[in-house]
């Protein structure tokens, strides 16, 4: 175990997150930004994460420590059989159990609270070793997965340190996969675990007001603070500006059902079919591009659609390239689960920072409220085929007239991750 040197005045925070570099994930970017900017506010972060996705050569220098997962043995054997290895040390290991596989779905329904619970014993042991190496002032944990909070709960009880629990999604309220809570027995267990975390933490952080209101309602004694997702202005500033292409390009970045199980694009596909039936001239000038991880079912659905000539599917690309593609798009596409009111996906804040207009296929969600507040696009219910057709035609008419300008609302600066990290620092200040 490598010792961690520190000065007497250094305020060190143990940051617990299952998702961390080299794996690419919205949680990686949120927690990574906190770690990167906390020194500006007088704190030094030490990251505790999993070893399941590999490591980076400079982990020790960056104070990143990785805990083994009891399932890693099975993953290692599977990779040996499939001969799956990263080509460079910084490349994440490919997942053997993909989110849309039958095995993954089966394990999600068996393992409580999530499929990553196997890292809890190793993370608690590694975290305890870290806490013994020097003076830590607080613990921070971020979910999903909720097992990160169970690691922090154990370390809180062992150390007595102040603890901040960060909820990027709900746990028993609108979880990413509601099917995992379909069993009454499991729901009782999960609610008991959630209660232990919320009441055991000294502060709760959520990414939007809907999640905060739910926790305040169910746990009146909890102190809940909202710190939204955000974007990095330095990344946006170096991107090439938008130029109009030969086709109206609508771009969706990120996962769909792989990030939230009930997310569907069936309404959009039905709208395209209707436009094709009416022989709309728009389709010859239209390109809808999906960039990111799509499940097998989603890819098959796109392949069956009659408008294949205007649909392209790309796999995941590096985050910087994703940002560039967002800026280059004429319209940015956002799709959420129809009845999920607590969703503000992390990409929405990058969308807002790009200045491109947004077509949001979402219900009366926190994402819809934010888009309407910023007058950043058109909000249509995901299953409103008539409304989607009208929105597509509206964007097409504006595109033909060169009337889709880039417009970055100055208020978007409040989502600068440096400022958001300052809000987290204030939470630590109040506890320390």
Predicted local confidence at residue 90, as pLDDT: 47
| Mean pLDDT for the stretch of residues 389-395 | 95
% of the chain beyond a pLDDT of 90:
64
Which of 92-96, 117-121, 302-306 tops mean pLDDT? 117-121
Predicted local confidence at residue 88, as pLDDT: 43
| Mean pLDDT for the stretch of residues 39-58 | 94
Predicted local confidence at residue 243, as pLDDT: 87
Answer with the residue of higher pLDDT: 205 or 73. 205
Predicted local confidence at residue 280, as pLDDT: 72
Q: Would the pLDDT of 15 be above 70?
A: yes
| Mean pLDDT for the stretch of residues 284-302 | 85
- The DSSP letter of residue 210 is H
Structure tokens at 227: 């710190």
Of 114-123, 296-305, 333-342, 403-412, minimum mean pLDDT range: 296-305
Contact yes or no for 175/153 (Cβ under 8 A): no
Predicted local confidence at residue 176, as pLDDT: 87
Answer with the residue of higher pLDDT: 91 or 273. 273
**3-state class (DSSP) for residue 131:** helix
Find how far residue 355's CA is from the centre of its chain.
21
- Average pLDDT of the chain to the nearest whole number: 88
Angle between helices 266-277 and 296-304 (to 10 degrees): 10
Confidence category of residue 205, pLDDT binned at 50, 70, 90: very high
Q: Would the pLDDT of 9 be above 90?
A: no
Q: Would the pLDDT of 5 be above 70?
A: no
DSSP strand E in 144-264: where?
163-167, 203-206, 224-226, 248-253
Find how far residue 136's CA is from the centre of its chain.
27
Find how far residue 117's CA is from the centre of its chain.
19
φ, ψ at 117 (rounded to 5°): -60, -20
Complete domains list, the chain, with CATH: 11-230+416-431 (3.40.50.2000), 235-411 (3.40.50.2000)
Predicted local confidence at residue 353, as pLDDT: 95
Residues in the chain: 432
Contact yes or no for 400/393 (Cβ under 8 A): no
């Amino acid at each position: 175990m490598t010792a961690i040197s520190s000065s007497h005045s250094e305020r060190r925070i143990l940051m617990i997150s299952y998702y961390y570099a080299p794996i690419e994930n919205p949680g990686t970017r949120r927690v990574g930004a906190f770690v990167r900017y906390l020194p500006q506010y007088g704190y030094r972060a030490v990251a505790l994460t999993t070893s399941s996705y590999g490591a980076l050569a400079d982990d020790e220098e960056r104070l990143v420590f990785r805990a083994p997962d009891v399932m890693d043995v099975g993953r290692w054997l599977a990779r040996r059989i499939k001969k799956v290895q990263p080509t460079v040390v910084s490349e994440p290991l490919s997942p053997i159990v993909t989110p849309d596989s039958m095995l993954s779905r089966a394990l999600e329904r068996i393992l409580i609270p999530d499929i990553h619970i196997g890292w809890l014993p190793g993370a608690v042991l590694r975290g305890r070793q870290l806490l013994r190496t020097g003076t830590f002032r607080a613990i921070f944990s971020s979910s999903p997965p909720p097992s990160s909070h169970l690691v922090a709960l154990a370390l809180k009880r062992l150390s007595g340190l102040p603890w901040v629990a960060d909820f990027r999604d709900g746990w028993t309220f609108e979880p990413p996969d509601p099917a995992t809570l379909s069993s009454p027995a499991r729901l009782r267990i999960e609610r008991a675990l959630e209660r232990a975390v919320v009441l055991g933490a000294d502060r709760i952080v959520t990414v939007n007001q809907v999640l905060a209101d739910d926790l305040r309602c169910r746990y009146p004694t909890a102190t809940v603070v909202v710190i939204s997702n955000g974007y990095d202005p330095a990344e946006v500033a170096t991107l090439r500006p938008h130029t109009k292409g030969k086709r109206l390009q609508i771009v969706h970045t990120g996962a769909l059902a792989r990030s939230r199980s009930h997310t569907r694009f069936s309404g959009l596909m039905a709208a395209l079919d209707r436009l094709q039936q009416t022989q709309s001239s728009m389709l010859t000038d239209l390109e809808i591009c999906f960039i990111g991880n799509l499940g097998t079912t989603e890819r098959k659905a796109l392949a069956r659609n009659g408008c294949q000539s205007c649909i392209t599917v790309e796999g995941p690309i590096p985050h910087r390239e994703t940002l560039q593609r967002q800026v280059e798009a004429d319209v940015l596409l956002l799709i959420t689960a129809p009845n999920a009111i607590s969703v503000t996906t992390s990409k929405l804040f990058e969308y807002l920072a790009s200045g491109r207009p947004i077509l949001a296929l979402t219900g009366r969600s926190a994402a819809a409220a934010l888009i309407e507040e910023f007058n950043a696009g058109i909000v249509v219910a995901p299953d409103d085929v008539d409304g989607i057709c009208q929105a597509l035609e509206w964007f097409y008419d504006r595109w033909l007239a060169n009337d889709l300008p880039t417009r970055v609302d100055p208020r978007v600066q409040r989502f600068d991750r440096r400022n958001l990290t300052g809000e987290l620092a204030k939470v630590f200040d109040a506890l320390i």
